[in-house]
Amino acid sequence: MTTSHQPQDRYKAVWLIFFVLGLGTLLPWNFFITATQYFTSRLNTSQNISLVTNQSCESTEALADPSVSLPARSSLSAIFNNVMTLCAMLPLLIFTCLNSFLHQKVSQSLRILGSLLAILLVFLVTATLVKVQMDALSFFIITMIKIVLINSFGAILQASLFGLAGVLPANYTAPIMSGQGLAGFFTSVAMICAIASGSKLSESAFGYFITACAVVILAILCYLALPWMEFYRHYLQLNLAVPAEQETKLDLISEGEEPRGGREESGVPGPNSLPANRNQSIKAILKSIWVLALSVCFIFTVTIGLFPAVTAEVESSIAGTSPWRNCYFIPVACFLNFNVFDWLGRSLTAICMWPGQDSRWLPVLVACRVVFIPLLMLCNVKQHHYLPSLFKHDVWFITFMAAFAFSNGYLASLCMCFGPKKVKPAEAETAGNIMSFFLCLGLALGAVLSFLLRALV
């Protein structure tokens, strides 16, 4: 299918829609984990006494300290983070993998719209439960079920969006990555504002969950508007043209005289070869994108291995009991710093895409990120066991974090943009799904690596 008419993305409407959809994939989960102190506080006593605690510096430090006795930490509170990581990473990896192989059997609209609606429902329930009293065990079980659901549907949503963006020009994966980067920035600012205001943990959590609901609703409206965009419809029809033309050829041949030498020699596959061709297609796609897939996996393995398991343990070199040291150093120097530069790196790919998709510099730059492991582990991490603190001053840590975050955002966005463009247009959606799977694999491997790196500090 060819056409001389090449529609333009008027007012960057499609680009903005994908940006909002990217924001919608990550902001809800980011707000959920930002409210971790709220969840652990409700688990500390069956009477939920800690819900009235102000989110001051003192209470924040108390909740983070395993030795606190006001109120006494419950066993459920102590294991919350570990179980949460397990309940998040396993569904994320499993459902991203399933989506890579089954996306052709379930319609795109059902996968994306259904996932958004499911996530919206989970967050409405989560916001409602802020006002409901219940015992610690029931609250723990319900919270873990919600984490599994959010990450299961989030995996399908993210993989489907990257697959959808794969049928558009290469720079249309960038707004998804940029939107995800902005999600981290928003949650960091929300965390700092909550600390500065001294608001109750329950009030802050309720605000997080309601904001997440609003963003998901906005993402649903944007997705519903997407089919009305001529630019989007043009590339979607272009992507469907190759399979449609192949089916037409098969129909014509089956109605007429079979070519001499059989169907296979005519260059058109016979009916019995189509399932085999589908299986071979996955292998062919992997062969084309394996460098980019492994690169994005390695990027996030290094990133999650260090952030936040190691980086959140760094303390300010400024002595005394200043608010910067006790309240704002980690929220600003670690989380806000990372999310700002990660967002800038992701957004830069909208105007600059160097090195190219076939350049050897791209995997080389990805491999060079391993240097951040010793650099950040040698910063002023509290409770050092094996390594000295060579970079004690705050400026060192802030500088390393900025470079670490920027390289993560820029290189990951490049890999995700280039992946679907290394294959035929009809295979772009599958390639996008496979790239999303390797991204999630990197997150899971990074979560495992984080335990080792933290133990080696």
List the chain pLDDT tens, one digit each, 457 residues: 444 567 888 888 999 999 999 999 999 999 998 898 899 888 885 444 444 445 556 444 443 444 444 444 568 888 888 888 889 999 999 999 888 777 778 888 999 999 999 999 999 999 999 999 989 999 999 999 999 999 999 999 999 999 898 888 878 899 999 999 999 999 999 999 988 888 888 899 999 999 999 999 999 999 999 999 989 988 888 776 655 444 444 444 444 444 444 444 444 444 444 445 555 678 889 999 999 999 999 999 999 999 988 998 899 988 777 888 888 999 999 999 999 999 999 999 988 889 988 899 999 999 999 999 999 999 999 878 888 899 999 999 999 999 999 999 999 999 999 999 898 888 888 899 899 999 999 999 998 999 899 889 8
Q: Where are the domains of the chain?
A: 11-241, 280-457
Buried b (16+ CB within 10 A) or exposed e, 397-426: bbebbbebbbbbbbbbbbbbbbbbbbbebb
The class (CATH top level) of 280-457 is mainly alpha
Determine contact, residues 340/192, Cβ cutoff 8 Å. Answer: no
Cα–Cα dist 335/188, whole Å: 6
pLDDT score of 384: 80
Closest CA to 167 of 220, 119, 226: 226
Determine contact, residues 139/43, Cβ cutoff 8 Å. Answer: yes
pLDDT score of 374: 96
Cα–Cα dist 224/177, whole Å: 20
pLDDT score of 264: 42
**CA Rg, the chain, in Å?**
24
Interaxial angle between packed helices 136-166 and 428-456, expressed in degrees from 0 to 180 and rounded to the nearest 10: 130
**How far out from the chain centre does Cα 42 lie?**
27
Residue 16, H or E segment: helix 13-34
Question: Do 11-241 and 280-457 fold alike per CATH?
Answer: yes
Give me the DSSP letters along 65-91. Answer: -TT-BTTBPPHHHHTHHHHHHHHHHHH
Cα–Cα dist 145/40, whole Å: 16
Residue 189, H or E segment: helix 174-197
Cα–Cα dist 233/228, whole Å: 8
Cα–Cα dist 161/111, whole Å: 9
Residue 315, both tokens: 């303390």
**How far out from the chain centre does Cα 121 lie?**
20
Residue 436, both tokens: 């999303």
Please state whether the predicted TM-score (pTM) of the whole model is above 0.75: yes
Apex 212 CA angle, 206 and 222, nearest 5: 155
Q: Which amino acid does the sequence have at 95?
A: F
Could you tell me which residues come within 8 angstroms of residue 453 by beta carbon, excluding any fewer than 6 positions away? 305, 306, 309, 310, 373, 377
Residues 228, 234, 237, 241: what is their CA dihedral angle, to the nearest 10 degrees? 170
| CATH 1.20.1250.20 for the 11-241 domain, yes or no | yes
Strand partners, 381: 314
**How far out from the chain centre does Cα 336 lie?**
17
Q: How far is CA 172 from CA 163, 190, 346, 400, in A?
A: 11, 28, 12, 29
Cα–Cα dist 115/32, whole Å: 17
Sign of CA dihedral 397, 400, 401, 402: positive
Residue 384, both tokens: 């050092």
Q: Which amino acid does the sequence have at 305?
A: G
Residue 43, H or E segment: helix 36-44
